[in-house]
Amino acid sequence: MHLLGPDRVLTHTAQLVPYSYDATPFYQCMPQAVVRPVTAQEVARVLRWCSAHGVPVVPRGSGSGLSGGAVPVEGGVVLDLKGMDRILEIDRDNLTATVEPGVTTLRLGEEVARYGLFYPPDPGSYVVSTLGGNVAECSGGMRGLKYGVTRDYVLALEAVLPSGEIIHTGSKNAKDVAGYDLTRLLVGSEGTLAVITQITLRLLPKPESRRTALALFDDMQQAAHAVSRILQDPIVPATLEFMDRTTLEVVEEFAHLGMPTDVEALLLMQQDGPAPVVDRDMERMAEICRREGARQVRVAADEEEGQRFLAARRATLPALARRRPTIVLEDATVPRSRLAEMVGRIQDIARRHGVQMATFGHAGDGNLHPTALADGRDAQERERVQLAFADIFQAALDLGGTITGEHGVGLAKAPYMVRRFDAATLEAMRAVKRAFDPQGILNPGKIFPPDHPEERR
Amino acid sequence: MHLLGPDRVLTHTAQLVPYSYDATPFYQCMPQAVVRPVTAQEVARVLRWCSAHGVPVVPRGSGSGLSGGAVPVEGGVVLDLKGMDRILEIDRDNLTATVEPGVTTLRLGEEVARYGLFYPPDPGSYVVSTLGGNVAECSGGMRGLKYGVTRDYVLALEAVLPSGEIIHTGSKNAKDVAGYDLTRLLVGSEGTLAVITQITLRLLPKPESRRTALALFDDMQQAAHAVSRILQDPIVPATLEFMDRTTLEVVEEFAHLGMPTDVEALLLMQQDGPAPVVDRDMERMAEICRREGARQVRVAADEEEGQRFLAARRATLPALARRRPTIVLEDATVPRSRLAEMVGRIQDIARRHGVQMATFGHAGDGNLHPTALADGRDAQERERVQLAFADIFQAALDLGGTITGEHGVGLAKAPYMVRRFDAATLEAMRAVKRAFDPQGILNPGKIFPPDHPEERR
């Protein structure tokens, strides 16, 4: 395939290996080729060729996904979109940014901050993750409770269908209901319907001020009650994160915040907005935590200390990764009222299967990250981890929750889709897939449950 | 058809006439029957029957739509969903409400207010409009700028496919990315993909306080500049509405606010939230309006006066309806930075075609309601109105806008879809339609451009 010139088509094994996996443990498959388009027209050319030859195409950003979404499980061509990394426009009058899919979340955030603007979604991998990947996975982050997720910021898309045709969905208009909402259908479609080549995002004015606090609890139930009380107060904080004892120990060892590590739960709270409101909400949240039995509440003295608290939370994954060779970070999610119950069930399940499990996550969203610390080379331990997660997802579903809050289905959750959805709903999704990709060449093997679920695990 | 018992199947002409039109002028077609299901299973039974017999099905709420979406343009069965009007749950812990489609927007708002909660979308017809209709049309309203539209509040749906199968999309979880976002695909699909039988909506805590103000300008450009300056300040007001001189005259005559009617533009501003922020934002907005040349700024003394200002804005449609027999209320929309330009073009176009046009709308959203005051019985005037709107939609598109901000495509905008979207995007929408409704029995004739555009106008 010399569609793009040899310098942008990789075929040597050594070049292909980095594209055989993403940030999800246990999944690896080699592609036949990697191509690096830099325009929508080039993407279209590749897709037309692949359609004509029945070759699978797997779109890829930074490969920081946590559900195996970028793993070329049926081989074929990996479409490396990192080269499409131009910020095309920042429209200060309409509060929008138009970007190519390879721009990183961090870079957009820094760029819009120069104009006093703010792009809220902040997935854990925001330093490296691309906006194309964020859109494909409908990435969340720590600001979901107050600000929503990627879906809530995507206004318009340019995307290439498997046929090579280029479509244009949505618009820069704050309100636009012309035709079906293909924009949000593509958000979270995990590269299985079309390849996104341009994104128009909604921006907000940057919050005027921000304050951060920590609260430490001897009992998980106390922390969960504090979360409920805060939300019922009602306060809608910008961030309301939680860590269990295992997570806290590991993070303290890594970040040296001088926190006691003999507590059962930590809440990380942040509010932003006009200063008087931020101050008032922080006081109220601190008071609620104390009333619910917090052993200690620490309000950050200034922005710098607040940033350190947040950095510690953001360091969770690298901190955990120092403990054991294989870190399986999941995102079972429940309605927020079931948070304490779900944490309890996760602890029971981990104990029963003999799996070391750290749990942290977005308490205000009910979006939990139960994380197994394991050695993936140990087949028996790997089996135990997989059985534990099967029970955890079932527990989430039993509590009215879901199998993924923000990581996507990809390969990792595909076997659980039959538990999450009834047959009619799953078939409606398959019908949408066939409508966009009748040959099934776009990111095959993702989202939909395999016919023989055990094969891919 | 005795699927539901004779008392819930209407077939007499006199019974059918009220179902032959909605709130959109110029469109009327008789159905063969009206059925009134009260459960999803009954809806399924009707859809299975209609599928088997190739009979069109038109879902209908209160019939307050402004794009002809509920007009049974190909006859068949109108599905009157007003009988499915139970509020099934208000979940105060998770801030959600689960309702049947026939519940009115007003009733939900009143019900959740009892718990200190708030459902923001407030379409002009909210007193009578049903939530099923709001979801089908992705209704907007006066709070769109700060709070978004219906799409931003729909968490989960139960819906019946034309085959009679019942699907369940989304969940109560704040974050849920399992599978394709069928929830948002159905939002705004105008009853052409599935019949919605249950809706789970996100709620917010009720804002603590609220203030309202009016500003009067001798020049439309001044008002538009004030809108830009407010948003750049940055202030995101709960409401930022505008009325032109014609609208203002009619509204003053109707509502007796004691406003001068010799001004060119009025801005209606509301902010809500914690009192100190509301006060500060109102002061800033008043100051910006004065600086941009407002002749007068009136901040409402109290909630009651604020409500009167708002009621005047809400009375626009009935007030205009007293002037001429036929009121054609449209919603051409532009990126907010093009507001003043668009208003100017609307005035020029109206003058050129000899049409009396009042323009008002959601200034902060760029969502304008150019409204023709006409006599639909006069064929020549009707023709002039239609030609004027054709030019207005083209002007909106030329400015990067869209053909509908919140009313939906229905019949009224279907001919303009070929101008709004390129062929590939429109074909992707058609493919989605075929995936859900292969026989094309659900609300036929809507959204997609007719083969012979002139036939239906």
Q: Do A421 and B333 touch (CB under 8 A)?
A: no
What DSSP designation does B387 have? H
What's the rounded Cα separation, in Å, for the pair A450 and B15?
Answer: 51
Predicted pLDDT of residue A454: 47
Predicted pLDDT of residue B295: 95
The residue of chain B with its CA nearest to that of A231 is B93
Q: Label the pairing between strands A239-244 and A356-362.
A: antiparallel
Q: Do A177 and B188 touch (CB under 8 A)?
A: yes
Predicted confidence band of residue B6 (pLDDT cuts 50, 70, 90): confident
Radius of gyration in angstroms for the set of CA atoms belonging to chain A, rounded to a whole number = 22
Predicted confidence band of residue B315 (pLDDT cuts 50, 70, 90): confident
The residue of chain A with its CA nearest to that of B134 is A177
pLDDT of B436 > 90? The answer is yes
What DSSP designation does B101 have? T
A394, containing H or E segment: helix A379-398
SS3 A339: helix
pLDDT of B456 > 80? The answer is no
Closest CA to A67 of A416, A381, A455, A324: A416
What's the rounded Cα separation, in Å, for the pair A43 and A195?
Answer: 8
DSSP readout, A108-176? HHHHHHTTTEE-----TTTTT-BHHHHHHHT---TTHHHH--GGGGEEEEEEE-TTS-EEEEE-S-SS-
- For testing contact with chain B, the best of A66, A93, A112, A175 (most B CBs within 10 A): A175
Mean pLDDT (chain B) is 94
Q: Is A439 on the interface with B (CB under 8 A)?
A: no
Per-residue pLDDT tens over the stretch B251-294: 898 888 888 889 999 999 999 999 999 999 999 999 999 999 99
In chain A, residues with a C-beta closer than 8 Å to the C-beta of B234 are 116, 205
Closest CA to A389 of A350, A445, A336: A350
Q: Do B431 and A431 touch (CB under 8 A)?
A: no
Predicted pLDDT of residue B455: 43
Q: Which two tokens stand for residue A222?
A: 């106390």
The residue of chain B with its CA nearest to that of A205 is B234
What's the rounded Cα separation, in Å, for the pair A278 and A99?
Answer: 32
Q: Do A409 and B177 touch (CB under 8 A)?
A: yes
- For testing contact with chain A, the best of B93, B138, B173 (most A CBs within 10 A): B173
pLDDT of B389 > 60? The answer is yes
Query: In one letter, which amino acid is B193?
Result: L
Contacts A–B by Cβ distance under 8 A: 270
Predicted pLDDT of residue A451: 73
| Percentage of chain B exceeding pLDDT 70 | 98
- For testing contact with chain A, the best of B41, B180, B200, B227 (most A CBs within 10 A): B180
Edge-to-edge strand list for the sheet holding A367-374: A296-299, A209-217, A265-273, A239-244, A356-362, A367-374, A326-329
Predicted pLDDT of residue A409: 97
CA distance B393 to chain A (A): 12
Residues 228-267 of A with CB under 8 A from B: 228, 231-232, 234, 236
Q: Which of A172, A337, A433 comes nearest B93 by C-beta?
A: A337
Contact B403, A178 (CB under 8 A): yes
Q: Which two tokens stand for residue A379?
A: 């087949």
Q: Do A175 and B333 touch (CB under 8 A)?
A: yes
Residues 105-124 of A with CB under 8 A from B: 116
The residue of chain A with its CA nearest to that of B91 is A337
Q: Which residue has the tokens 């490969």?
A: A63
Predicted pLDDT of residue B5: 80
Q: Label the pairing between strands B57-60 and B77-80.
A: parallel
Cis peptide before A234 (omega within 30 of 0): yes
Return the minimum-mean-pLDDT range out of B1-10, B289-298, B355-364: B1-10
Closest CA to B352 of B387, B383, B382, B377: B387
Mean pLDDT of B132-151: 96
Contact A155, A219 (CB under 8 A): no
Q: Is A187 on the interface with B (CB under 8 A)?
A: yes
- Helix-helix angle A339-353:A220-232, to 10 degrees: 150
DSSP readout, A89-111? EEETTTTEEEE-TTSBHHHHHHH
Number of residues that make up chain A: 457
In chain B, residues with a C-beta closer than 8 Å to the C-beta of A148 are 152
The residue of chain B with its CA nearest to that of A362 is B175
What's the rounded Cα separation, in Å, for the pair B401 and B330?
Answer: 14
Contact B193, B433 (CB under 8 A): yes
| Residue-by-residue pLDDT tens, chain A, 457 positions | 557 888 899 999 999 999 999 999 999 999 999 999 999 999 999 999 999 999 999 999 999 999 999 999 999 999 999 999 999 999 999 999 999 999 999 999 999 999 999 999 999 999 999 999 999 999 999 999 999 999 999 999 999 999 999 999 999 998 999 999 999 999 999 999 999 999 999 999 999 999 999 999 999 889 999 998 999 898 999 999 999 999 999 989 888 888 888 999 999 999 999 999 999 999 999 999 999 999 999 999 998 999 988 888 888 888 998 899 999 999 999 998 899 899 999 999 999 999 999 999 999 999 999 999 999 999 999 999 999 999 999 999 999 999 999 999 999 999 999 999 999 999 999 999 999 999 999 999 999 998 754 444 4
Predicted pLDDT of residue B147: 96
Is ipTM over 0.90?
yes
Closest CA to B179 of A65, A395, A189: A189
Query: In one letter, which amino acid is B322?
Result: R
Give the alpha-carbon dihedral of B242, B246, B251, B254, to 10 degrees. Answer: 180
Cis peptide before A31 (omega within 30 of 0): no
Closest CA to A364 of A321, A386, A387, A335: A335
Q: Is B361 on the interface with A (CB under 8 A)?
A: no
Predicted pLDDT of residue B317: 87
Per-residue pLDDT tens over the stretch B421-430: 999 999 999 9
What's the rounded Cα separation, in Å, for the pair B163 and A209?
Answer: 53
B118, containing H or E segment: strand B117-118
CB atoms within 10 A of CB A370: 29
CA distance A98 to chain B (A): 14
- For testing contact with chain A, the best of B176, B241, B280, B402 (most A CBs within 10 A): B176
Q: Is B407 on the interface with A (CB under 8 A)?
A: yes
